Amino acid sequence: MTTEAIMDQNLDLPEDPATSEAPPQVDNLDALESEAIHIFREVAGEFDRPVILFSGGKDSTVLLHLALKAFRPAPVPFPLLHVDTGHNFEEVLRFRDELVSRHELRLVVARVQDWIDDGRLSERPDGTRNPLQTQPLLEAIEQNRFDAVFGGGRRDEERARAKERVFSLRDAFGQWDPRRQRPELWNLYNGKHRAGEHMRVFPLSNWTELDVWRYIQREKIELSNLYYAHRREVFHRDGMWLTSGPWGGPREGEEVHEKTVRYRTIGDGSCTGAVESEAYTVDDVIAEVAASHLTERGATRADDRMSEAAMEDRKREGYF
Amino acid sequence: MSNDTETLTRFAPDSGTEVALPVHTDLLRLATAGSVDDGKSTLVGRLLHDTKSVLADQLDAVHRASADRGLSTPDLSLLVDGLRAEREQGITIDVAYRYFATGRRTFVLADTPGHVQYTRNTVTGASTAQLAVLLVDARKGVVEQTRRHAAVLALLGVPRLVLAVNKIDMVDFDESVHTAIAQDFAQHARALGYSDEDVVTIPVSALHGDNVVERSERTPWYEGPALLEHLETVPVAPDPHDVPFRLPVQYVIRPRTADHPDYRGYAGQVAAGVVNEGDEVVVLPSGARSRVSMVDTPDGRAQSAAAGRSITVLLEDDLDIARGDVLVSAEEQPRVTDEFDATVCWLAEKPLAPNTKVQIKHGARTVQAMATELATRFDEQELSSVDAPEKLELNEIGKIRFRTSESLPIDDYADSRRTGSFIVLDPSDGSTLAAGLIGVPLAPLASAVTR
């Protein structure tokens, strides 16, 4: 092992033993599951054309699992929608397609590449395509006349998300206005919307990253293998390990290393970083997440580091 | 916990049937309330920070932002004030949800803003809370807003309160200041119907951490627990279980597939009580009767299911049941009526006038309704009332008579938070106008002297 690799490894060790305690031995997963199922059924009862935003990542896989449980033994009564940035990991797309065919679901794909090809969107100088997803998403919602769109967003992810409702109304331009949110009382969700408006719905609002992983463990939910430790060629940029791909990189001066890594979040390949990890199984991941010093977004998403209000600004425009 | 189980099984038959355990046992849902500048965000930031729920990157961001603002110590309120306008103005606008866990318990915290114009957020946070932490500034003591918030918390049925006397360092950790505030508040809480055991007063300094996670040496005269210790150990009060089984039907599951040609299940979240296979149930509002042939859960068939669980119920008879109907225990049924009195917290800019047409969402049913009479407006601070007000304005609370286009099966809010609550919607734009509580769930308001 090189000196540099040893140093990198040391950086990942917990510095303070107090933070490495085992996760609390309490089980609130039944309550969270029941709440999420209640939310799915409310939407099925009140909306005409719901859709699940589905990327093949862990949160959307958990979302789909809950939807299957909410309506069993009947099939899930809505299709899936994926906004493909064109910078997705091959493995994740394969995993997405496998799930879709196994459960006989309908998948609608909106492609950022199509928008770039015909000039409606242009590539950003930094090469990241996450912010470019908003317009294709809004157009897909409008063209398919979707009136409720399920997302896997959680309030523990980020400060602006912490203030979002479970049923979050978007105006005719798809925009979120945090100052005009409806009060949300008891478990009585208000699904009223006018023509052209739609609802974003977040069944995982009250889950934490650890809850999601404990649920994956309990329910034995299969995930894309990118979430578990594997060998990969990566290069260092902005404090993250990025992988090379059609999104470019490594640039000059960015040295490629082969490392054992995993992904904590999976998004646009140009701005989603891997973390060095020896977590090969779901049990390992739970231990790692419980001891982590960094949030999953802070560790692995360049786009959220841009400014104090990066997420709020994107959400206002119609991003998830 | 044995206590909770006992309450939940009260209506189960004695036949030795295995009864489901309550699902919320190890989770405490709490809300915070207080006036502007009482240091609520700082206290919540301190709780998150000292329970190590704040991770290094979040803390780095706070250090950077604090330094940008010219502060010498990190401003922990920046951990929770998430919106740009909040950080710019240094205030909290919207209710924020926070999650933290200790070895003993998991917490869901609704952090609600204190400014008077955002009282509606206190109502929102309180609607699901099992405990509320109310902050006062030790230099100011119990103020108008404290009394108002405490009344709202009592009205919404939050069973336990903590009064956090914050900024105790600013009064030199003076015991007499703390005692005077505690006594003043205890008197008000008693008037609201809280017993002394339901209310705990703790002297804290959110800024310096005294008595937040660790007991402080600077308040040797205080013998009670630190705030976090209290939150970890206080018994979780269950929602009132004075009514037996209730299930608002959200959705009818009919697969009509080769494997399940005849499956017809009524899906919903158990709102109260327990249901067992074989129980006799009544469908409301129609009044049809049947027996439960199967309790289907997300994990398959079960003997029974308790409040909080999302399930699907199959019945022996083929009945006409749709979304909005309610399955209830045959033994003790709710009232079925198209006219009722309710306490309403008005949450909209547009005031309520008599004979206004609205919509009411109760359980899974939304009906047309008319506010036929504004009976009373309460002064929740003075615990007095005004008869026949001309209107009810934003943040005001009153007793309203409603008439609905269809009959609703209702319980009193005091008996059942889930089947005793509803929301009032604006038929023109769909916005949420008010929180409704059936009956007058707060005794001192029910008997308030008219001014």
Predicted confidence (pLDDT) per residue in A249-260, tens digit: 777 788 888 999
Q: Does the residue B292 lie in any domain?
A: yes
Instruction: Give yes or no: residues B132 and B259 share one domain.
Output: no
Q: Is B182 helix (H, G, I), strand (E, B) or coil?
A: helix
Instruction: Give yes or no: residues B222 and B319 share one domain.
Output: no
In this complex, the residue of A69, A178, A185 whose CB is nearest that of residue B423 is A185
Q: Does the residue B8 lie in any domain?
A: no
Structural domain of B122: 27-233
pLDDT computed for residue B116 by the predictor: 58
Instruction: Give yes or no: residues B254 and B175 share one domain.
Output: no
Backbone Cα Rg of chain B:
24
Instruction: Give yes or no: residues B188 and B287 share one domain.
Output: no
Instruction: Give yes or no: residues B325 and B343 share one domain.
Output: no
Q: Mean per-residue pLDDT for A55-74?
A: 94
Q: Does the residue B14 lie in any domain?
A: no
Q: Does the residue B136 lie in any domain?
A: yes
Asked if pLDDT for residue A247 goes beyond 90, the answer is no
Q: What domains does chain A contain, in order, with CATH numbers?
A: 3-24+223-305 (no CATH), 29-210+310-317 (3.40.50.620)
User: Do residues B127 and B153 touch, judged by C-beta distance below 8 A?
Assistant: no
Which residues partner with A234 through β-bridges?
Answer: A243, A257
pLDDT computed for residue A298 by the predictor: 56
Window 164-203 of A, Cβ < 8 Å to B: 178-179, 181-188, 190, 192-194
Per-residue pLDDT tens over the stretch A169-199: 998 887 887 777 889 999 999 999 998 899 9
Instruction: Give yes or no: residues B83 and B218 share one domain.
Output: yes
Q: Residue B126: is it exposed, middle or buried by C-beta count within 10 angstroms (0-12/13-18/19+)? A: buried
Instruction: State whether A26 and B106 contact (CB < 8 Å).
Output: yes
How far off is chain A from B36, nearest CA to CA, in Å? 18
Q: Is A270 helix (H, G, I), strand (E, B) or coil?
A: coil
Q: Does the residue B15 lie in any domain?
A: no
Q: Give the separation between CA B444 and CA A83, rounded to whole angstroms.
A: 55
Query: Final residue of a domain: which of B276, B308, B329?
Result: B329
Instruction: State whether B120 and A26 contact (CB < 8 Å).
Output: no
Question: Any idea what DSSP says for residue B351?
Answer: P
Element (H, E) at A158: none
Window 138-167 of A, Cβ < 8 Å to B: 155-156, 158-163
pTM of the model: 0.86
Instruction: Give yes or no: residues B48 and B177 share one domain.
Output: yes
The HSE-up count of residue B296 (CA atoms within 13 Å, CB side) is 19
List of chain A residues whose C-beta atoms are within 8 Å of the C-beta of residue B108: 206
Give the mutation candidate from A25, A46, A69, A163 for the B interface (greatest B CB count, under 10 A).
Answer: A163
Q: Is A17 on the interface with B (CB under 8 A)?
A: no
Which residues partner with B114 through β-bridges?
Answer: none
In this complex, the residue of B24, B27, B255 whose CB is nearest that of residue A73 is B255
Per-residue pLDDT tens over the stretch B318-345: 999 999 999 999 989 999 999 999 999 9
How far off is chain B from A295, nearest CA to CA, in Å? 6
pLDDT computed for residue A162 by the predictor: 80
User: Do residues B111 and B34 touch, judged by C-beta distance below 8 A?
Assistant: no
Task: Give the CATH number of the domain where residue B299 resides.
Answer: 2.40.30.10
Task: Give the CATH number of the domain where residue B201 resides.
Answer: 3.40.50.300
Instruction: Give yes or no: residues B42 and B161 share one domain.
Output: yes
- Which residues of chain B fall short of a pLDDT of 70? 1-25, 36, 54-59, 76-93, 114-118, 237-241, 448-451
Query: Final residue of a domain: which of B329, B357, B383?
Result: B329
In this complex, the residue of A26, A155, A208 whose CB is nearest that of residue B26 is A26
Q: Give the separation between CA B431 and CA B347, rounded to whole angstroms.
A: 10
Distance between start and end Cα atoms, chain B: 44
Q: Is B272 helix (H, G, I), strand (E, B) or coil?
A: strand
Q: Give the separation between CA A153 and CA A168, rounded to whole angstroms.
A: 11
Element (H, E) at B368: strand B365-379
DSSP for A110-143?
Answer: EEHHHHHHTTSS---TT---GGGGHHHHHHHHHH
Q: Is A37 on the interface with B (CB under 8 A)?
A: yes
Bigger pLDDT: A209 vs A200:
A200
Average pLDDT, chain A: 81
Q: Does the residue B203 lie in any domain?
A: yes
Give the mutation candidate from A15, A64, A188 for the B interface (greatest B CB count, under 10 A).
Answer: A188
Count of domains forming chain B: 3
Instruction: Give yes or no: residues B266 and B352 share one domain.
Output: no
Phi (first) and psi of residue B83, to 5 degrees: -95, 150
Instruction: Give yes or no: residues B61 and B118 share one domain.
Output: yes
Instruction: Give yes or no: residues B303 and B265 share one domain.
Output: yes
How far off is chain A from B28, nearest CA to CA, in Å? 10
In this complex, the residue of A33, A190, A298 whose CB is nearest that of residue B58 is A298
Instruction: Give yes or no: residues B81 and B114 share one domain.
Output: yes
pLDDT computed for residue A306 by the predictor: 45
User: Do residues B340 and B399 touch, judged by C-beta distance below 8 A?
Assistant: no
Query: Final residue of a domain: which of B276, B302, B329?
Result: B329
Q: Is A24 on the interface with B (CB under 8 A)?
A: yes
Q: Give the separation between CA B163 and CA B147, rounded to whole angstroms.
A: 11
Which residues partner with B400 through β-bridges?
Answer: B342, B374
